[in-house]
Amino acid sequence: MTTQIEAARNGQVTPEMTSAAMGDELTANEMMEEIAAGRVVIPNNSGRKARHVGIGMGLRTKVNASIGTSSDIIDLKAEVEKAIAAEEAGADTLMELSTGGDLDFIRREVLGAVNLQVGSVPLYQAFAEAVKKYHDPNKLTEEMLFDVLERQCADGISFMAVHCGINRLTIERLNRQGYRYGGLVSRGGSYMVGWMLANGKENPLYEQFDRVVEILKKYDVVLSLGNGLRAGAVHDSLDRAQVQELLINCELAEMGQEMGCQMMCEGPGHLPLDDIEANVKLQKRMSMDAPFYVLGPLTTDIAAGYDHISAAIGSAEAARYGADLICYVTPAEHLALPSREDVVEGVRAARVAAHVGDMVKLKKTSRDRDMAKARRDLRWEDQFSLALFGDKAREIRATRSPENEDSCTMCGKFCALDNVNHFFAESLQNGIKG
């Protein structure tokens, strides 16, 4: 199996490159060159057909949505509905992160329900199976772990968050700094740290990194280097443990690319606004511009119920400085398993953030300019078509119809634009600022 990066380095344009290039207004050759340099990846699985998107430098910032059961709520129908809703709301990729129920069956059902590339965190299933078999996650065997990687790839997973950067050195950093205000919030990361401490062993995903790469290469799956030590509180932002893991992941990204596997790095969790630029630039510099997949980042710890807004603020800033894929956060973050409505709100908030970041990163402002003119000229249908969520805008306006159809019920007869537009009618007709 020739992977996308191997094909690109051999000067070969694949159908996946051609398809992904169309979504970002690039030529297929330009996409090939970026993949060959390790600056762009295309989530893919040779055994499953789905819509292809490019993730990386120079491309539109993409949005990921995550769904999945928990040990408390196992409702396959609801998770499939959430996956479909995420796609309809405009997510570019999806992660299936179930931890409760028949995990193989759930994953296959989700894969069959959407046309998105689907990612996973294999440690979730590996530790869940260890608990089921041994009643102890720390009795997970290395062979069970690698079997899960192979099984998920065989099912059609196209990018996989694998916690390879946690090793004895990162745990030592965690100990020396006196642990953390927010503890360890990554489920995969915390369970791997627990396994290492309980067994007195090195992380097999780090120790046998070449085996991880070979499994994913077999299916042309993107290896997303998980951030198991990401900060779960703004006061833990950019601590030594997090930076140590990021450093290792950046090194592994380069190694994986040399071995012929598509690679991206993950980060960073909770970060105050003034740490975001440094985090993104650090990752980009140390990884030679490998794609950066960020969770959030959440910019405050006290916005429970509105964490999707906190994350949108952080995501816009991260995208501005070069983040390539942002994982949505829903209003249910830190509180409960998201509902279908939470998923939709999370995707839409993340899409706003991605666009705001791309306005700076990619200088993509023409749509905003066109919206400004449509609002100035009170062209409501054009406003709906230009809006990110025209259906929502139309719905709100329809529920509060104005007396004068040119205005809205916010201003009514006192519409600021209508008040002065007629004075500038000649300028408008002559195309000034138009």
State yes or no: pLDDT of 60 exceeds 90. Answer: yes
Spatial CA neighbour of 244 closest among 147, 326, 316, 166? 166
Look up residue 174 and give its amino acid.
L
Q: How many residues does the chain have?
A: 434
Q: What is the pLDDT of residue 206?
A: 98
State yes or no: pLDDT of 424 exceeds 80. Answer: no
Task: Provide the H-helix boundaries in 97-239.
Answer: 103-113, 122-134, 142-155, 168-176, 187-199, 204-207, 209-218
pLDDT tens figures, 278-311:
999 999 999 999 999 999 999 999 999 999 999 9
Q: How far apart are CA 342 and CA 307, in angstroms?
A: 11
C-alpha distances (whole Å) from 384 to each of 350, 368, 375, 409 are 19, 13, 10, 17
CA 383 to chain centre: 28
pLDDT tens figures, 244-270:
999 999 999 999 999 999 999 999 899
pLDDT tens figures, 230-248:
999 999 999 999 999 999 9
Helix, coil or strand: residue 264:
strand
Every domain of the chain with CATH number 3.20.20.540 lies at 4-361
pLDDT tens figures, 382-397:
999 999 999 999 999 9
Give percent of the chain with pLDDT exceeding 90: 90
Specify which residues 63 forms β-bridges with.
326
Summarize the confidence of residues 342-367 as an average pLDDT: 98
Give percent of the chain with pLDDT exceeding 70: 97
Q: How many CB atoms lie within 10 A of CB 431?
A: 7
State yes or no: pLDDT of 431 exceeds 70. Answer: no
Q: What is the pLDDT of residue 417?
A: 79
Helix, coil or strand: residue 214:
helix
Q: CB within 8 A of 178, min separation 6: which ones?
A: none
The angle at the Cα of 65, spanning 61 to 70, to the nearest 5 degrees, equals 155
pLDDT tens figures, 188-204:
999 999 999 999 999 99
Mean of pLDDT over the chain: 95
State yes or no: pLDDT of 19 exceeds 70. Answer: yes
Give the CATH superfamily of 4-361: Radical SAM ThiC family, central domain (3.20.20.540)
Of the given ranges (190-204, 328-342, 417-431), which has the lowest mean pLDDT?
A: 417-431
Q: What is the pLDDT of residue 109?
A: 98
Question: What is the widest separation between alpha-carbon atoms in the chain?
Answer: 80
Q: How far apart are CA 238 and CA 211, in angstroms?
A: 30
- The DSSP line for 70-133 is -SS---HHHHHHHHHHHHHTT-SEEEE---SS-HHHHHHHHHHH-SSEEEE-HHHHHHHHHHHH
State yes or no: pLDDT of 426 exceeds 70. Answer: no
